[in-house]
Structure 1
């Protein structure tokens, strides 16, 4: 009796695919303008908010409340209310081996790693966005290469659009096993909540060229 023919199953390769999950936690796209905030007739009741409502599945999040900025207030002046700022962090760690990208490929070929992100230019402050991306070794701690940026916003002209941030890692050396993607946005609460939103985050390992 002849042995049954073997079926070959070819798994799709992750090259050129976004390795981040849940890349638009607010359900928005950078291809359409960010939504204009709707302000209520009366200030909402309750404690201040420090993060926007969203679906943060697959993200590790954190909130850092910032101290009130009293600079520029003359002595003796009565201040009824000051804006309250917070940094909101969203972070993901990509395990390259779990994504079917071999150690041998990362060590010998070192394919380009493209990073892209989009944030909303809310103009609530000069600095409303930070991006930190690290290429990590097998221990998950040792940094082989990293990229950080904190753009300064031009507040002289009103703008409410999406702004792109991107970077390409090349020639980073052997040993990369994880990619740590972390971005922070600044939110403001002053009678009402003024968030800064992000969308379209991506980490893409490019196909190796032979």
Structure 2
């Protein structure tokens, strides 16, 4: 590895494998860039407030909608329609309509070696792995977002480290902005070869469709040595 690359990535002191193709590693630029594909499928920026929902006075035509629109290429998606929740409704009350909720999940698996990282680096140096995500704060429900990130071994089934987020929203005050979620994996131990990123957004249908948007999802490996 060239001294210039060592200076740029601050990897001094790590044994460098002789068989590694440093030209391909340098071209891959594995450090400091987002390893997730298509991180903004709704075309929205965290630096601009999310658009206000459009309220309709008449029901939508056609069947209910449970999945938001967007270009979700690069993601594996799934929609889970939840049963109606009638809890809290007084007995004998006449119900004209109930909201129906759905979870929309999106996931990706990052192959760290394919992205230019190498085994000695991952096992001995254990660079920081930084997770970021932004979701839309809304009045859809008190639980509208979940994040599950796993560091996996070579078999993609062994979980070496993981992090989950399941916040509860405050519906007492209206606030419509982006909420940041972040986590830094460090000192995770040897054997990490893949990162599995999964987040779920809750949507609501009642006369109209009210989605929960996200933007700026990222998985970034920083050339910073971690410790247990």
Q: Which residue does the alignment assign to 1:124?
A: 140
Partner SS, residue 127 of structure 2: coil
**Following TM superposition, by how much is the alpha carbon of 1:36 offset from its aligned partner in structure 2, in angstroms?**
1.1
Partner SS, residue 206 of structure 1: strand
Partner SS, residue 113 of structure 1: strand
Q: In the aligned structure 2, how far is the partner of 1:28 from the partner of 1:15?
A: 25
Q: In the aligned structure 2, how far is the partner of 1:139 from the partner of 1:209?
A: 25
Q: In the aligned structure 1, how far is the partner of 2:29 from the partner of 2:102?
A: 40
Q: Which residue does the alignment assign to 1:179?
A: 195
Q: Which residue does the alignment assign to 2:157?
A: 141
Q: In the aligned structure 2, how far is the partner of 1:178 from the partner of 1:206?
A: 16
1:110 has 2:126 as partner: yes
Deviation sequence 1:105-159 (CA, Å, 0-9, x none): 1001000100000000012111100000000000001100000011111111100
Deviation sequence 1:43-98 (CA, Å, 0-9, x none): 21111111110000000000111111111112222211100000000101000011
Q: How does 1:183-198 map to 2 (within 5 A)?
A: 183-198=199-214
With the length of structure 1 as denominator, give the TM-score of the two structures.
0.93
Q: 1:16 aligns with which of 32, 35, 43?
A: 32
- Kindly report the root-mean-square deviation, in angstroms, between the aligned alpha carbons of the 2 structures: 1.5
Partner SS, residue 107 of structure 1: helix
Q: Which runs of 5+ in 1 are unaligned?
A: 1-7
CA contact (8 A) 2:28 2:115 kept: no
Q: Which residue does the alignment assign to 1:5?
A: none
**Following TM superposition, by how much is the alpha carbon of 1:40 offset from its aligned partner in structure 2, in angstroms?**
3.7
Q: In the aligned structure 1, how far is the partner of 2:85 from the partner of 2:55?
A: 24
Higher helix proportion, which one?
A: 2
**Following TM superposition, by how much is the alpha carbon of 1:209 offset from its aligned partner in structure 2, in angstroms?**
4.6
Q: Which runs of 5+ in 2 are unaligned?
A: 1-22
Q: In the aligned structure 1, how far is the partner of 2:145 from the partner of 2:214?
A: 9
Partner SS, residue 147 of structure 2: strand
Q: Which residue does the alignment assign to 1:82?
A: 98
With the length of structure 2 as denominator, give the TM-score of the two structures.
0.86
Give the 4+ runs in structure 1 shifted more than 3 A: none
Q: Which residue does the alignment assign to 1:201?
A: 217
